[in-house]
Amino acid sequence: LEAKEEFSHKTLAMDVMRPRHNDPSLTVLTQDSMTVGDIEAAINETTYSGFPIVVSRESQRLVGFVLRRDLIISIESARKKQDGIVSASRIYFSEYTPPQPPTSPASLKLRTIMDLSPFTITDQTPMEIVVDIFRKLGLRQCLVTHNGRLLGIITKKDVLKHIAQMANQDPDSILFN
Ligand code: ADP
């Protein structure tokens, strides 16, 4: 065992975040390339409480975070009350909406329901610190990045499960309380 490995048993954010290695990838929304139908599908195919919003799937640059319930309410209300909102309508979380060809359906601007500065940590952050941050800031979730690219998410429940697991495995490792 290398000396380095002896020190590296510390759990890091990357060990606790979702998705895990073999899981399907993180469900993200893009800021300006999805339709009402695309986003309704993402809502219906998952049960997550929220979705990170990225510039594009290629870049995985984080733009913000939107709660599932806010998305549902806004889309339902727009479909009822806003003229021309249909499944093919483009949804914009971006500040600017590019000019649309006259034939395309009305677009829906949802920037106002997005959290523009969701809490973010890097994948190398020790879990001790993550637990502390969740406690002190009362976070519900936290996004995990590597070199500025979005990698995963840790929810409050993920943190609680991690704490419970640590307590089972090694009572001495409970640094909390
Ligand atoms: P909770 O952790 O309270 O059950 P969620 O239902 O939002 O909250 O998340 C369930 C699990 O899925 C958690 O382990 C979380 O890390 C993960 N998760 C949350 N949001 C997403 C997402 N958009 N894409 C992939 N996994 C997610």
The pLDDT, as a whole number, for residue 142 is 98
Residue ranges covered by each domain of the chain: 3-173
* 3-state secondary structure at position 42: helix
Specify the pLDDT at position 68: 98
Asked if pLDDT for residue 157 goes beyond 90, the answer is yes
Q: What is the 3-state secondary structure (H, E, C) of 61-95?
A: EEEEEEEHHHHHHHHHHHHHHCCCCCCCCEEECCC
CA–centroid distance, residue 49 to ligand 1 (Å): 7
If you average pLDDT over every residue of the chain, what do you get? 92
Region of poorest pLDDT, from 6-15, 66-75, 132-141, 156-165: 6-15
Q: How far is the CA of 47 from the centre of ligand 1 (A)?
A: 8
Query: Model ipTM?
Result: 0.98
Check pocket membership of 155 for ligand 1, CB cut-off 6 A.
Answer: yes
Q: Six-digit token pair at 101?
A: 């060809």
pLDDT at 112 over 90: yes
Domain 3-173 carries which CATH code? 3.10.580.20
